Amino acid sequence: MPSRRTVLAATAGVAATLALGGTAHADDKKLRSLISRMTLEEKVGQLFVMRVYGHSATAPDQADIDANLKEIGVRTAAELIAKYRVGGIIYFAWAHNTRDPHQIADLSNGIQKASLDLPRGLPVLVSTDQEHGIVARVGKPATLFPGAMAIGASGSRADARTLGRIAGKELRALGIRQDYAPVADVNVNPANPVIGVRSFGSDPAAVSRLVAAEVAGFQRSSVAATAKHFPGHGDTAVDSHYGFPVITHTRAQWDELDAPPFRAAIEAGIDSIMTAHIMVPALDDSGDPATLSRPILTGILREELGYDGVVVTDALGMEGVRTKYGDDRVPVLALKAGVDQLLNPPNLDVAWNAVLTAVRDGELTEARLDESILRVLRLKAKLGLFGDPYVGHRAVDRTVGAPAHLAAADRIADRTTTLLVNEGGLLPLSPADVARLLVVGADPASPSGTTGPPTGVLATALTELGFTATPLSTGTAPSAATIARAVAAAGDADAIVVGTYNVTATSAQKTLVAQLLATGKPVVAVATRNPYDVAHLPAVRAYLASYSWTDVELRAAARVIAGAVAPSGRLPVPVQRADDPARVLYPVGHGLSYPA
């Protein structure tokens, strides 16, 4: 790893004199001088945050080289930086960027070296989506925490701060300095297909408190937090990855429901805010997505809310931002709207050249680019990247997945599990009474770093608590043969634990549960994603919500089932009746516990 002296030499001149971690605008004069020396091509590059395949900046596997050549026209991250001078790189597990902690640290170091070795080389802002819960790009052995809605069920600002602080320390040790979290959307639509449990809940005040606390935790660890998705993605039945959502809130409703968490994030000193590819006619009636809306990003976010930090787009390959304009127009219009960072365009060459052409043709001024570059460089200076962007294996070993961090995640998870139904005091179960458990469940694809199928994780956790638990995966849409196999397996069990996943009125999971209930064996159900499942399965006598199927939350659910921990979570969203959605079955704040 290059020494600190090497880093300072690589950023000799203006950049090398920048103070570490100073106030946001303390180094503006030096930064402006640095910007004045950049070529137009270098300036354009600083605005982009791009994906790249591979575990190494210079020597990825051949399959990743092939993917890079096909999608980006370069072989490696180093070539990407040399060709386009990108200011940021985003890590994904599917791009093979996050195999293990030492590899991630080495990739981060390789990226920084590739950039700093260039003439007028600048440090790179490495980012990722590490929301925890169902969205985590860095997996085990890193510490994985419950997701936002689970934290909403605990309602603890201290837990949100602890999550941010520990997660931030681990990301920083890996060279990742910008996290696209927390989600600041208020999930008021149970049918929301893209936010859901990624939100802290449906109460704007509660969401605001937890957003501000998590922001404070991340940024105390010198990792830039990112509140998303402005102006609020919580009330939509369309996923902006695949369609163009329209939010029909009035301006008064937006002020009451959607705006508070973003206001709270700004008051907490949030470093970056991510835009949403949604249309909000009450805020801008042009038909443009918020990402491309000057009235929303400049008029409301900058001028009304007074935000002067970094604004980053959501990924520009998502359908929500591509329905009205071509990929050559989207980045230009985003910059005209007030964006600073252009995230992961589908075709970097098209996007990069479109911005370059827009400046040369006079549609964008170089001064406009300079405004955004100044904000990006301010953030890099604040995070200390001009002083020393490199990380070391010793810090990784000391920090990532530290025993104290893992223990904190388990303690936090214990405060999130919510007991929705417990007729006749079925829970807790005792190995003395029901020694043999059958654990069946949907087993959706696991988030990054989980140790295996959820039924296996839950069965292992219950076995460690004294039961003999046997897992049987039944899928999200079990066939008649699969259901019959589960019913047959139940004959050897004293009780059954069922993991449900996004149950609907027509879901085959309802048939599975009904036939398991018909065996006469006690059935305990765990909603492993949305807590709304319980409305579709009213005959179940004991129902828990874990808000995710990740290890940390399933282990906590097992402790509640066994009585090792008393449930204390409270619903952060209402659950409506399945037969009459206008009526509430379980209100916000509902949650049972065990007798003392």
Residues noted as catalytic: 241, 314
Instruction: Give CA–CA dist 74/81, Å, rounded.
Output: 10
The beta strands (E) that lie in 319-456 are given as: 342-343, 418-422, 436-441
Instruction: Give CA–CA dist 519/47, Å, rounded.
Output: 61
Cα distances (Å, whole numbers) of residue 591 to 88, 146, 419, 502, 529: 43, 18, 5, 20, 17
Helix/strand/coil for 490: helix
Instruction: Give CA–CA dist 291/321, Å, rounded.
Output: 7
206 contacts 152 by C-beta, under 8 angstroms: yes
Q: What is the pairing mode between strands 418-422 and 542-545?
A: antiparallel
H/E run at residue 310: strand 310-312
Closest Cα partner for 187 from 433, 531, 524? 531
Instruction: Give CA–CA dist 560/568, Å, rounded.
Output: 10
Q: Output DSSP code: residue 429.
A: P
Name residue 340's amino acid: D
Token reading at 281: 């006619």
Token reading at 343: 């995230």
Instruction: Give CA–CA dist 149/167, Å, rounded.
Output: 17
